């Protein structure tokens, strides 16, 4: 639960421009001014995905710590695993500001950052100094002006792979022009083949995850499922932000970019369940989109996710939400008679398909 200090800090941050507030939150983490109670775990919460041991299945989604600046405090915030980035080969400023908008009435956000980051060399240097007792992955991106975006993903993996527990191929951001075209069957197969080949040349085996959009139609989802199995990747993250604006109330609802937060929950969970049905356990899934409570994390798991991630809810619920969701999930599993979270995966998939 948020204490008074955290509530006051959140209220203060909301007085600032959203991107400025985000920068201040990273600085506060680095200065040790945020709650870091340590990992939340139990026999019920400990699990595995793609061979990775997790203290709990509740992770931080990519985008919060783009440049891997707060690895140590985030690893002590209650999450079971952390994903940083996206990182591109060369630094890039991203799209013009303003490019981040709070949709307070909708408990949501819209961003059109465009892979703004300091580049793989700066990010890789920080990852080399990472805490070794945490599970940390990197979201791989491509430069906007790249002549070979598929090669960009492999380059970032090659440079940073030695310091990673997993790497995510991000072809689902709506904020880099034509990036989502790489979700097509032929393009995606070729891209993943290159990334897997690069992974196989590393001195350690880094599990490769694929992050998909929630806006795929049935044919697109079928293609993703087929490619995921054939390519030999280790997990699929479902989903990234959406271009859908249905049902929003905020004045910022018309802003261009990807929508995240509460309105994404049902749509992303249905995509997750549909993909789970197609894959039938051949490739594990990580559920993302609209999670802000333990009940919603549990729903994603019961729909087919082996683990979950969230980010936007931190804007409204504070960093203590990570531990709250993990502990709440433990209670829900106990109440339903599950000895381990893995037993609950996919048990209520039919509710979403």
Write down the pLDDT at residue 330.
Answer: 98
Write down the pLDDT at residue 3.
Answer: 84
Tell me the three state secondary structure of residue 171: coil
Task: Assess whether 173 carries a catalytic annotation.
Answer: yes
pTM for the predicted model, two decimal places: 0.96
Tell me the three state secondary structure of residue 280: coil
Write down the pLDDT at residue 182.
Answer: 73
Give the residue ranges of DSSP H helices in the chain. 4-13, 18-30, 71-75, 120-128, 149-160, 185-200, 218-231, 265-279, 294-303, 313-317, 321-335
Write down the pLDDT at residue 175.
Answer: 66
User: What string of DSSP letters covers 284-351?
Assistant: -EEEESS--SHHHHHHHHHHT-SEEEE-THHHHH-TTHHHHHHHHHHHHHHHTT-SSGGGGTTTTGGG
Instruction: Name the CA dihedral angle for 266, 272, 274, 279, rounded to a multiple of 10 degrees.
Output: -170
Write down the pLDDT at residue 195.
Answer: 96
Q: Where do the structural domains in the chain lie, given as residue ranges?
A: 35-351
Write down the pLDDT at residue 178.
Answer: 67
Contacts of 58 (CB under 8 A, 6+ apart): 40, 78, 79, 80, 297, 307, 308, 309, 310, 322, 325, 326, 329
Tens of pLDDT along the chain (353 residues) come to 778 888 999 999 999 999 999 999 999 999 998 878 888 999 999 999 999 999 999 999 999 999 999 999 999 999 999 999 999 999 999 999 999 999 999 999 999 999 999 999 999 999 999 999 999 999 999 999 999 988 999 999 999 999 999 999 988 777 676 666 777 788 899 899 999 999 999 999 999 999 999 999 999 999 999 999 999 999 999 999 999 999 999 999 999 999 999 999 999 999 999 999 999 999 999 999 999 999 999 999 999 999 999 999 999 999 999 999 999 999 999 999 999 999 999 999 999 99
Write down the pLDDT at residue 177.
Answer: 66
Write down the pLDDT at residue 180.
Answer: 67
The CATH architecture assigned to 35-351 reads: Alpha-Beta Barrel (3.20)
| Catalytic annotation, pick one of 146, 172, 173, 320 | 173
């Amino acid at each position: 639960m948020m204490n008074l200090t955290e509530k006051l800090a959140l209220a203060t941050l909301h007085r600032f421009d959203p991107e400025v507030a985000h920068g201040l939150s990273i600085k506060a983490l680095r200065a040790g001014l945020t709650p870091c109670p340590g990992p939340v775990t139990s026999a019920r919460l400990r699990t595995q995905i793609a061979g990775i041991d997790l203290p709990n299945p509740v992770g931080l989604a990519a985008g919060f710590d783009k440049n891997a600046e707060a690895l140590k405090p985030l690893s002590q915030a209650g999450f079971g695993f952390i994903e940083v980035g996206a990182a591109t080969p060369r630094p890039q400023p991203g799209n013009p500001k303003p490019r981040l908008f709070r949709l307070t009435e909708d408990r949501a956000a819209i961003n059109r950052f465009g892979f703004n980051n300091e580049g793989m060399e700066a990010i890789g240097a920080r990852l080399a100094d990472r805490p070794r007792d945490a599970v940390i992955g990197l979201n791989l991106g491509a430069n906007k002006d790249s002549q070979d975006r598929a090669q960009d993903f492999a380059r970032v993996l090659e440079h940073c792979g030695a310091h990673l527990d997993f790497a995510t191929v991000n072809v689902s951001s709506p904020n880099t022009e034509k990036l989502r075209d790489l979700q097509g069957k032929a393009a995606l197969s070729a891209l993943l083949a290159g990334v897997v080949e690069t992974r196989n040349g590393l001195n350690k085996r880094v599990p490769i995850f694929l992050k998909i959009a929630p806006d795929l139609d049935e044919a697109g989802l079928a293609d993703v499922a087929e490619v995921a199995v054939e390519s030999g990747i280790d997990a699929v993250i479902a989903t990234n932000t959406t271009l859908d604006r249905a049902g929003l109330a905020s004045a910022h609802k018309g802003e261009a970019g990807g929508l995240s937060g509460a309105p994404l929950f049902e749509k992303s969970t249905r995509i997750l369940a549909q993909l789970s049905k197609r894959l039938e356990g051949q490739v594990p899934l990580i559920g993302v989109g609209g999670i802000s409570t333990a009940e919603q994390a549990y729903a994603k798991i019961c729909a087919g996710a082996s683990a979950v991630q969230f980010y936007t809810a931190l804007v409204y619920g504070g960093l203590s939400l990570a531990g709250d969701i993990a502990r709440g999930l433990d209670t829900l599993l106990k109440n339903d008679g599950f000895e381990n979270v893995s037993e609950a995966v996919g048990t209520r998939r039919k509710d979403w398909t």
